[in-house]
Amino acid sequence: MKGHVDKELCIGCGLCTDICPEVFSMDDDGKAVGSDEEITSDDILDSAKDAEVQCPTEAIKIVSSVGRTGTMTGKLSGIL
């Protein structure tokens, strides 16, 4: 699982970094970014999910990197 932030929706309030600094940080533009690291701790995953729920603009999504890859492969297999 990874934390993803939609830069178009993020208003830079910093709530996610307060809730889960292990996954979210602020970039030079004042927008939140998710870590490229896989979330492996249940406690950190719980905090990241809390940040997702608390985000005032719904800019945060906790996504499965495995699921996303599998979906992409499934779509491509029908084309080839």
pLDDT in tens, the chain (80 residues): 999 999 999 999 999 999 999 999 999 999 999 999 999 999 999 999 999 999 999 999 999 976 543 334 444 445 55
Q: How many CA atoms, within 13 angstroms, populate the side-chain half-sphere of residue 78?
A: 4
8 Å CB contact between 5 and 21: no
| CATH fold for domain 2-79 | Alpha-Beta Plaits (3.30.70)
How many whole angstroms separate alpha carbon 63 and alpha carbon 46?
Answer: 13
Domain ranges of the chain: 2-79
State the pLDDT at residue 65.
76
